[in-house]
Structure 1
Amino acid sequence: MMRRVVGDGVAPALFGVLATFGFAPWHCYPVTLISVIGLLVLWRRAGPARGAWRGFVFGCALFGTGVSWVYVALHTYSGIAAPLAGLAVAALVGYLAIYPALAGAVAAATRRFAAPIWALLIVPAAWGLSELLRGWVGTGFPWLSLGYSTVAAPLNGVAPLLGSYGLSIVLVAAAGALWLLYAGALIARLIALALVAVLPVLVWWVPSAAHWTQPVGPRLRVAIIQGNIDQADKWQPAHRAETLARYRDMTARSRADLVVWPEVAIPAPAEQVVPYLKQLRRTAAQRNQTVLAGLLWPAANSRGYHNSVLALGQGRGRYDKRHLVPFGEYVPGPAWLTGHLSNMGAPVGRTVAGPVTQPLLHSHGVALGLSICFEDLFARDIARDLPMAGMLINVTNDAWFAGTPALAQHLDIARMRALESGRPLVRAANTGISALIGFDGHVYQHTAADESARLIAPMVPRRGLTPYMAYGDTPLWWATSAVVMLGLLGAWGLRWRAARLRRPAERRRALRARL
């Protein structure tokens, strides 16, 4: 009994908690690798139902510790009652844990395969497919994809080829190789040893992002304005004048070609601050400067607003957020659900999504690929602006998660997008962490959280297209789906063959018993 409790509850939960330490702000990716090895051991000794349960417990522990910051956004800043906020977080964690459970069911169902095939092909493919599904079903929520734990690891050079999901698959395969070294038969150990020996060579041989993209045009001097407006004060009318003055004055002191403000830095709909915008546009034009200002823009033929970035001064145009946050900026489902949630105390926004295809904003001849907050979780959204964009811009308001690991986790997600695309990325956050990120994912400058700050540095635009941005996740979808399908069919075939071989022996035993 105790053995079952440990194997089905304590051990997978422990491994799930340990896996969290591979992500920001800790970056202990070897710990995540060890936790995946432990999960493989648990799956190798389980049937499909128990394998799914162990994957589910692992997922509950991983996401329960890794995305618990959602409670802060719901309760502390949205004012939702603690029980309701806790219930919402539990529902989210339970939903996200379904995907490791699916991987566990496949892994346990195929455990009778030869250990090298199982550990190096089937399980990595099952995990990769589960993450692809998690990033696609509904609106998708790929937070804490295992690949993000490698953003600071030597393995991150694979990102321009395979993206974050591909890195997840490689990480699980590496865990499988290490498990084979310990638990495999002689041939399995030799195969694993060969892979472990060859892996550093492959990592060294894989071309870096510098191979796929090249610098183009003159440097663009970029400034990030981090106003540090507390979320509790942001929308208070009494604080509006102070907020507007802070961003205006910090911009006036910034000698830069491009000045980037955070998401909805202007805490008011555009029609309420028209004189302010005209003055800002006039001043920026006189300084030959482009200011990207986050604000709410009225949607055409709608009562709602776009979450937008407006280019003022030397630049022109507007970007409207395309990929909205479910249950935050909008409610998926019937209209009555929005009113019901609002009556329960959930401040659900009525944000309107922008069109899928939008013209790029430009500054001094450089095309800019814009994303707002949640959008940088999705490489497919970033790819829409490539190869035209020479630089990526992400504006966000992570003040909703102040004091939690979400700030550092979100920064790593932006780093991964820079790596995958081979583009420098400018990240402006209301209360931090703002950063200037190189095309190689390296953070060259960053602010601290909860401080008013500016970052100013030259950034070099780049051109070209990495293989991952050219083909996206399509090859991974096909490859992982094929391996999982063949694995499940093979497992069914092995069971059918074993059943056929048992039947004659059972008949003979029955005949001897009658005689």
Structure 2
Amino acid sequence: MADPITSRSRRGVSSPDAPATLDARRRTLPRWHYLVALLAGAANTLSFAPTPHGGWLELVIFAFFFAWLTRTTSWKSAALTGGAFGFGNYVTGVWWLYVSMHDYGGMAAPLAGAAVVLFSLYLAIYPALAAGVWSFCAGHARNGARDADPPFSPTWHGALAFASAWAIGEWLRGYVFTGFPWLASGYAQVDGPLAGFAPVAGVYGVGWMLALVAALIVQALVRAREPRGVDSARRGTRVATPALTALALIAAGLLLPLAQWTTPANAPLTVRLLQGNVKQEMKFEEAGMRAAIDQFQQMITSKPADLIVTPETAIPVLAQQLPPQFASAVRNFSDSTGSAVVFGAIGGTITPDGRVVDYTNSLFGVTPGTRDVYRYDKHHLVPFGEFVPWGFRWFVNLMSIPLGDFARGAPVQKPFIVHNQPVSLDICYEDIFGEEIARNIRESATPAGVLVNSTNLAWFGNTIALDQHLQIARMRSLETGRPMLRATNTGMTAAIDANGKVIGRLAPFTVGSLDVTVQGTTGNTPYVTSGNNTVLAVSLLLLAFGFAFGPGLARRRNGNGKP
């Protein structure tokens, strides 16, 4: 059996006659193996925004990552390799959290840096778990260490196990402890060759397909490097089949965007997305609050549109305490121009004795011709920023920023109606949870045709977080077949069509208004219909098959030399 990395001197390959202690020593991978995996993970950060068409780079890096995994000789070394790759990816991909904790939160630099490292180590648990599970389900961990042949042999069930384990690991990362699916591998494919699978199976399904294609490429390369035998036709088949399958999947990903899962509905809307560029350090000071309210009052009433949207907490006061001048100006402007206005403010309930309880991060909507005020309350809250996880009050106390425990809104909330067009609102990083966006469409009595995200990324300064969040929003449009509108404080304020293409954007850190026209849609993509259930069910089924039959397949392969 050929070695995918070549080298008979590679650690992990030993004679069956060698003593057990010598065999174990030879199977211990050198430390630089894990360093290379870490560097590969760091390089994978370059696949994400702002790198254009980074999906192709990611495919190359994932093929290398899988080939590197094949050097491992036990589930432990596989898990360490996956963890090193993940840590390299996350510590270079979410370093901007340091900016929020240190620059704006006032946390000491060493503590903020340590927090980013520890958080990245936590996130790395999930790719480590995925690599370890792959090692078991491919029959590699339980059989390779007993055989004279190198422990890795390219198999179809091994490739499917890698794709499935990777998808399950990413889903768990986006679910456990309220989830943090930032840098899910599928996001880099927004402009890549596999973006067409997004409306079918969502971002985790795109990641599943990425891992499968990468594994098949490695499988084909390994087969191509095997010694030429008498049965050259069979050898050619073993090379061509995985290679052609990988090419077919890439072709499908490139062609699937031609499919129309949704159709235009209702009249197009003229939209104004406001970007105030209010400095974060001034946002909650008395003078800064008054200036922000005056600024957004002027921006809202400067020009009519079907829909006008401000950033998250653009009006940083309790809704019941809105200045009368702002409230009357917005109401009169809406009634006189026919403009619907959505603005961010703080929600809350005032008790009979005058206390404010159940604070919420909210959006309020004013519709022309009615005194009713629409309200959306954020459901998926940010740990440490909007609620304090149990046992972490000490950590929050290290930062001098206004944090607190907010109440949660309902998982599914009614849309905001703008000229007969239902609009689904979400706040801040709620749009990184595609399943929740899909659920809101799927379970709503009036499914939305337009998505709106109102956010404030000023916490993260001028970093890659802005580009990454825009890329995430584009994935939501691909998954749902609906346009996404983003009103942000400092950037990226943008409009995205139903095909995930940016049709307009404002330069970051400028004050301005983005005027666009968007067409709402109706109908459900397969992902909206089933959410993450499809990729989870397929992955669990394939992993169960691999775990049950993988070892037997490996034994038969190593026993008779056949795949």
What TM-score does the superposition give when structure 2 sets the normalisation length? 0.83
Unaligned runs of 5+ in 1: 502-515
Deviations 1:208-234 (A, max 9, x none): 46x211111111100001001011111
Q: CA deviation at 1:423?
A: 0.5
The alignment status of 1:53 with 2:103, answered yes or no, reads: no
Equivalent in the alignment of 2:252: 202
Over the matched positions of the two proteins, sequence identity in percent amounts to 35
The residue correspondences of 1:284-299 to structure 2 (distance < 5 A) are 284-299=334-349
Residue in 1 that maps onto 2:438: 383
After TM superposition, list the pairs within 5 Å mapping 1:279-358 onto structure 2.
Answer: 279-299=329-349, 303-314=357-368, 316-333=373-390, 337-338=392-393, 340-345=394-399, 347=401, 348-358=403-413
The residue identity in structure 1 corresponding to 2:98 is Y
Alignment partner of 2:525 out of 460, 466, 472: 466
Q: Which amino acid aligns with 1:40?
A: F
Residue 268 (structure 2) aligned to one of 193, 205, 219: 219
The 1:346–1:43 alpha-carbon spacing in structure 2 relative to 1, beyond 3 Å, is farther
Picking from 500, 507, 513, the partner of 1:454 is 513
Indicate the residue corresponding to 1:63 in structure 2. Answer: 90
**Residue identity in the other structure for 1:317:** Y
Aligned to 2:143: none
The answer to whether the 8 A contact 1:134-1:141 is kept is yes
Q: Is the 8 Å Cα contact of residues 313 and 361 (structure 2) preserved in structure 1?
A: yes
Letter in 1 for 2:109: A
Q: Which letter does structure 1 place at the counterpart of 2:437?
A: I
> Deviations for 1:55-101, whole angstroms, at most 9, x for unmatched residues?
11111100000001111011111112222212221221011100110
Amino acid at match of 1:282: N
The residue aligned with 1:490 is 549
Aligned-partner Cα distance in 1 for 2:540–2:295 = 52
> Displacement, 1:313?
3.7
Distance 1:208 1:399 in 2: 37
**Deviation readout 1:415-447 (Å, 9 max, x if unpaired):** 000111000111111001100100000000011
**Residue of structure 1 in register with 2:40 after alignment:** 15
Q: Give the Å deviation of 1:496.
A: 8.0
Alpha-carbon contact 2:157-2:550 (below 8 Å) kept = no
Higher mean C-alpha deviation, range 352-361 or range 423-432: 352-361
Q: Is residue 2:477 matched to residue 1:399? A: no
Task: After TM superposition, list the pairs within 5 Å mapping 1:422-437 onto structure 2.
Answer: 422-437=481-496
Unmatched tracts of structure 2, length 5 or more = 1-8, 12-28, 141-150, 227-234
Whether the 8 Å CA contact 1:44–1:107 is kept in 2: the answer is no
Task: Tell whether 2:319 aligns with 1:249.
Answer: no
Task: Say which SS state the counterpart of residue 357 (structure 2) adopts.
Answer: coil
The DSSP-based 3-state class of the residue aligned with 1:428 is strand
Q: Is the 8 A contact 1:181 1:193 kept in 2?
A: yes
C-alpha spacing 1:38/1:201, structure 2 compared with 1 (3 Å):
closer
How much does 1:2 deviate?
11
Which deviations, in whole Å up to 9, do the C-alpha atoms of 1:16-56 show, x marking residues without a partner?
Answer: 01111110011322222222122112211211100100111
Query: Structure 1, residues 381-417: CA drift from partner, whole Å, max 9, x if none?
Result: 1123315101000011011111110000000000000
Aligned-partner residue type, residue 306 of structure 1: T
1:18-167 correspondence to structure 2 within 5 Å: 18-27=43-52, 28-46=54-72, 47-109=74-136, 110=138, 111=140, 114-167=153-206
2:232 alignment counterpart: none
Q: Which amino acid aligns with 2:65?
A: L
Structure 1 contact 113–491 (Cα < 8 Å) conserved: no
In structure 1, what residue type is equivalent to 2:114? L
Deviations along 1:362-389, one digit per CA (max 9) or x if unpaired, are 1111111111011001112112331510
Contact 1:49/1:105, CA 8 A, preserved across alignment: yes
SS in 2 for 1:164: helix
Q: Pick which of 416-425 and 268-277 moved more.
A: 268-277
1:90 maps to amino acid: V
Q: Deviation of residue 321 (structure 1)?
A: 0.3
> What is the distance in 2 between the residues matched to 1:188 and 1:181?
7
- 1:234 pairs with 2:259: no
Report if the CA contact (8 A) 2:56-2:193 is conserved. Answer: no
Contact 1:116 1:191 survives alignment (8 Å): no
What's the CA shift for 1:135?
1.1
1:271 offset after TM fit, Å?
2.9
**Whole-angstrom distance in 2 between the partners of 1:364 and 1:206:** 32
> After superposition, what is the alpha-carbon deviation per residue over 1:172-191, rounded to whole angstroms, capped at 9, x for unaligned?
11211221232125343111
Give, as a single letter, the amino acid of the residue that structure 1 aligns with 2:44.
Answer: A
Distance in 2 of aligned mates of 1:312 and 1:464? 27
- Segment of structure 1 superposing worse, 35-44 or 293-302: 293-302
- Measure the CA separation in 2 of the matches of 1:384 and 1:282: 35
Q: Deviations over 1:121-174 (max 9, x none)?
A: 111111011111111112011110110011012421221111111111111112
* Deviates further, 343-352 or 160-169: 343-352
Question: Equivalents in 2 of 1:9, 1:350: separation in Å?
Answer: 40
